[in-house]
């Protein structure tokens, strides 16, 4: 893991704290079957997410988490560990979202955030753009999901 210059307290992180090439890891995030079923029943009620018998007969051979729930797990980890409550200004979107392998109840996920680019905004000098490659890895070291995020962060001192 690459060292960063991120202060110990997240409320001290600003655009300048995010350094290209830095790698941060968070986890484990434990995937709970009850949560998987509840999320899927509410938001993604496909049989392989909500019905044990149908899931056994599916190509997945058992219940799997919705990819959208996996995104939600990762978002929570990023909010808790990566985005500063004082400088994060949100995101215009993500790119190249890939669900590579199914996530199953009982899995333990780790999130790896690699800062791939930082750039100060020309049009809004009080902020910068941080591009991050996000990987989600299970307990077997298998990559299960990846995407590229774009985030706006306030600068410590706008000039």
Q: What pLDDT score was predicted for residue 143?
A: 99
Task: For residues 102-125, give the mean pLDDT.
Answer: 96
Domain ranges, ordered by start, for the chain: 10-154
d(CA 56, CA 13): 46
Q: What architecture does CATH give domain 10-154?
A: Roll (3.10)
- pLDDT tens string 74-83: 999 999 999 9
Predicted confidence (pLDDT) at residue 3 exceeds the cutoff of 70: no
Q: What pLDDT score was predicted for residue 157?
A: 82
Predicted confidence (pLDDT) at residue 6 exceeds the cutoff of 80: no
User: Which residue, among 102, 41, 95, has the nearest Cα to 67 in the 3D structure?
Assistant: 102
Helix (H) or strand (E) holding 76: helix 67-81
Predicted confidence (pLDDT) at residue 128 exceeds the cutoff of 90: yes
The token duo for 14 is 């600003």
Task: List, in sequence order, every residue forming a beta bridge with 127; answer none if it has no partner.
Answer: 154
Q: Is 68 helix (H, G, I), strand (E, B) or coil?
A: helix
Task: For residues 43-58, give the mean pLDDT.
Answer: 97
Model-level pTM? Answer: 0.89
Predicted confidence (pLDDT) at residue 33 exceeds the cutoff of 90: yes
Task: For residues 47-54, give the mean pLDDT.
Answer: 97
Q: What pLDDT score was predicted for residue 5?
A: 54
């Amino acid at each position: 893991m690459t060292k960063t210059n991120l202060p110990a307290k997240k409320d001290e992180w600003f655009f300048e704290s995010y350094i290209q090439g830095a790698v941060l890891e968070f986890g484990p995030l434990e995937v709970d079957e009850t949560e998987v079923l509840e999320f899927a029943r509410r938001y993604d009620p496909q049989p392989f997410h909500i019905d044990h018998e149908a899931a056994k007969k599916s190509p997945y051979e058992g219940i799997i988490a919705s990819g959208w729930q996996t995104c939600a797990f990762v978002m929570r980890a990023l909010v808790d560990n990566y985005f500063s409550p004082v400088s994060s200004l949100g995101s215009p979107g993500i790119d190249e979202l890939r669900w590579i392998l199914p996530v199953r109840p009982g899995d333990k996920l780790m999130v790896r955030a690699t800062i791939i680019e930082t750039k100060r905004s020309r049009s809004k000098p009080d902020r910068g753009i941080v591009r991050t490659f996000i990987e989600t890895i299970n307990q077997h070291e298998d990559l299960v999901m990846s995407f590229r995020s774009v985030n706006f962060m306030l600068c410590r001192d706008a000039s």
